[in-house]
Structure 1
Amino acid sequence: MASGDYIKLKEDLHEDTRTDSGIESLKSISSTKDDQSMNTVRNSASECSAVKDKFINTEERLDSDYDSSVDSLSEIVEALNFCTNPEEHESVQEENQLTTITEDGDTILHLAVIHEDEDLACHLIHLFPKEVLDIQNNLYQTPLHLATYLSLPLLVQSLVKKGASLEAQDQDGNTPLHVACQQGLIDCAAELTRNISNSKLAPVLEAQNWRGLTCLHLATLNQHHRLIKLLMKKGADLNVQEGTSGKTALHLAVELHDITAVTLLLTKAANVDAAMFNGCTPLHLAVGRQDTTIAILLCRSGADKMLRNMEDETALDLADGNDDILALFPFDDIQISGRSVEVQF
């Protein structure tokens, strides 16, 4: 996704007030350095004060119009002169000139990502400590969220290698992996999960956004089959229920008439009889939607045809005269405790 699309979306979103951007966590960094470094910072600070004023001006924000001014970003970098004098890197970091935030809560790293300046962003990632990488803007987005949203896998890789948080959630409760799964960004998702231990990745795979959806739910809802495969390979729980109605990924795939996703999930032993909060199984949904193909597929995978939902309905009760579906329910079967017993004549 191009930065212009992100910019338009960000301008349309309601911006929540955020008083703690995470920048306060950097105070401890400056207190541990020696006086000589601080003197160097003070000397360099006066040279970039004008640019800093421009960066934080509340009347004319640097990022108030994101299609403006990559030049403005370059001016800040040039004035700070952080890349021409390696000996002053820690001093500049110490003064937090580079971590000054805009009215939108963006650091210069956020801005570099937004403007898709990968060279600058990679240098900042190398320069900054982890605490800076995880600062969230007013939309609760970290630079990793933005790099993922804008489909910049190189920056995603750099941020992950430096230890950027995989669990940070934006204002919608989405982690960067949620964003990748929603947008179908397989390259970014691969970088977000590459060489990550199961113990570190598990909380991300289990995390639900504010709509109660995990990464697997989002990949299934958006029919991103390659991402479904990736998440299954990484150990995602196939039977986790979304938070509003208790649907599993299999329920969602059935609702979408997505035979490919249904097959993928059943192949990896998703629970064919998982019940929603109202008691409906995937077979209830398939029959209720008159989807004969998926109903047959579920039955071949061992779906229990006689399970009842909270309305005391079996899947057969929802067949509504569909002969092809009714053929799945032989009338010469005796049902004992919901299980068919073959009758011999």
Structure 2
Amino acid sequence: MSEARKGPDEADESQCDSGIESLRSLRSLPEPTPAPVPGPSDDSDSQPWTQPRGSAEKEDADAEKEDGDGERADSTYDSSSLTGPLTLLGDPEAKDPAPGSPLLLPAGTLSPQQLEALTYISEEGDTLVHLAVIHEAPDLLLYCLALLPQEVLDIQNNLYQTALHLAVHLDQPNAVRALVLKGASRALQDLHGDTALHMACQRQHLACARCLLEGRPEAGRGPPNSLDLQLQNWQGLACLHIATLKRNRPLMELLLQSGADIDAQEGTSGKTALHLAVETQERSLVQFLLQAGARVDARMLNGCTPLHLAAGRGLRSIWSALCEAGADSLLRNVEDETPQDLVEDPIALLPFDDLKISGKPLRCAD
């Protein structure tokens, strides 16, 4: 039976919001009437929402690009279509805005056009903060963070991504640090149940993960410690599980130093990080977790220990490392099997290879 077609409002789970349509929506906003300025009349007032000529064609051509892993990511980098229409917020190149400029005005005195720009939400659910991150406009992001209340930073788009998710996805540690400082929530989960830290582990963005774990919001901008390192995504994986599957020791070290539970079980089969390390078949990763204090005889939901997994896969070196750490080879799982029962070639897992019978080697040395 053919698969049902998705409706126009249903999001593809493999896609990441790009903000492409958001820019087209920005161009559709009505052009504001410039606020009257005391003094002699001047005919040189410019319309801040004027769209640069030729940018629409560039957006349409770039919209077909995809990132390397097949997910749709931002395709309008280096485009002038974002900063052009937003001149009413001030010159993003200006480091020291002149006194009395719109950027220095408190929220209560913003013009209707400024409020409309700052509180704009696109058809994809992106706010101006999302778009500033997507299009790598750090000055614009800082302007928004200075003017907008904390609640706006936690608005999720149609893929349930916050601006913090997108900053991590695009590996922008400075943007991550600025958002955390202003109190952006690090606990919100996207369409896949991933927090920003889950995403940092999946994409192996160590600098972003460090900003998320070590950053603290400024006074009055949220709780100082709002990260639950045992929180699982919809696949049942905590951040340490993801980092282990990625074989990323620096990330694993960072998470453990920050308080991640080394023996936490993932939600589908009850594997700990040590079980997952055995499945990667990397002895060094197994030894690292053992030295960090992982429970060597931790049980899955079916009663299997890491030694069961090593035995079933014939992983001699990992079997030896687990046995040296005190693993019990006689523990039984729910099928009443010990690790020794799962060994296809018991001789292959012996910790020595020089056994002889009547002067003849029992097995050949490697």
Q: Percent identity?
A: 45
The corresponding residue for 1:144 is 164
Residue number among 67, 72, 97 corresponding to 2:75 in the alignment: 67
Does the 8 Å contact 2:320/2:351 carry over to 1? no
Distance 1:140 1:12, change over 3 A: closer
Matched, 1:291 2:315: yes
The corresponding residue for 1:86 is 103
Distance 1:251 1:14, change over 3 A: same
Residue number among 293, 300, 303 corresponding to 2:327 in the alignment: 303
1:111 CA drift (Å):
0.9
Matched, 1:253 2:277: yes
The separation in 1 between residues aligned to 2:46 and 2:236, in whole angstroms, is 46
The corresponding residue for 1:208 is 232
Distance 1:200 1:285, change over 3 A: farther
Structure 2 unaligned spans of 5+:
1-10, 18-31, 37-44, 52-58, 64-73, 93-100, 218-222, 353-366
The separation in 2 between residues aligned to 1:93 and 1:224, in whole angstroms, is 49
Residue number among 193, 200, 208 corresponding to 1:173 in the alignment: 193
1:71 CA drift (Å):
2.1
The corresponding residue for 1:121 is 141
1:225 CA drift (Å):
0.9
Does the 8 Å contact 1:101/1:107 carry over to 2? yes
The separation in 2 between residues aligned to 1:52 and 1:290, in whole angstroms, is 67
Q: What secondary structure sits across from 1:299 in the alignment?
A: helix
Q: What secondary structure sits across from 1:100 in the alignment?
A: coil
Q: Name the amino acid aligned to 1:165.
A: S
Residue number among 220, 233, 244 corresponding to 1:220 in the alignment: 244
Distance 1:206 1:124, change over 3 A: same
1:305 CA drift (Å):
1.1
Deviations 1:222-265 (A, max 9, x none): 11110000011111001111111111111000011122221121
The separation in 2 between residues aligned to 1:323 and 1:271, in whole angstroms, is 26
Matched, 1:134 2:154: yes
1:129 CA drift (Å):
1.8
Does the 8 Å contact 1:319/1:326 carry over to 2? no
Does the 8 Å contact 2:298/2:305 carry over to 1? yes
Q: Name the amino acid aligned to 2:102.
A: N
Q: Supply the RMSD in Å over aligned alpha carbons.
A: 3.2
Matched, 1:314 2:314: no
1:119 CA drift (Å):
2.2
Distance 1:259 1:92, change over 3 A: farther
Does 1 or 2 have the higher relative contact order (CA < 8 Å, sep 6+)?
Answer: 1
- Structure 1 range deviating more: 71-80 or 166-175: 71-80
Matched, 1:325 2:345: no
Structure 1 unaligned spans of 5+:
1-9, 17-40, 54-60, 329-345
Does the 8 Å contact 1:290/1:322 carry over to 2? no
TM-score normalised per structure 2: 0.70
Matched, 1:76 2:77: no
Aligned length: 286
Q: Name the amino acid aligned to 2:184.
A: A
Distance 1:237 1:309, change over 3 A: same
Distance 1:157 1:50, change over 3 A: closer
The separation in 2 between residues aligned to 1:297 and 1:232, in whole angstroms, is 21
- Structure 1 range deviating more: 229-238 or 199-208: 199-208
Q: What secondary structure sits across from 1:106 in the alignment?
A: coil
Distance 1:128 1:300, change over 3 A: same
1:13 CA drift (Å):
3.2
1:13-32 correspondence to structure 2 within 5 Å: 13=14
Deviations 1:8-30 (A, max 9, x none): xx9873699xxxxxxxxxxxxxx
1:51 CA drift (Å):
3.9
Structure index of larger Rg: 2
Does the 8 Å contact 2:312/2:342 carry over to 1? yes
Q: What secondary structure sits across from 1:178 in the alignment?
A: helix
TM-score normalised per structure 1: 0.74
1:5-16 correspondence to structure 2 within 5 Å: 13=14
Distance 1:15 1:113, change over 3 A: closer
The separation in 2 between residues aligned to 1:299 and 1:284, in whole angstroms, is 12
Matched, 1:160 2:180: yes
1:130 CA drift (Å):
1.0
Distance 1:303 1:176, change over 3 A: same
Distance 1:201 1:304, change over 3 A: farther
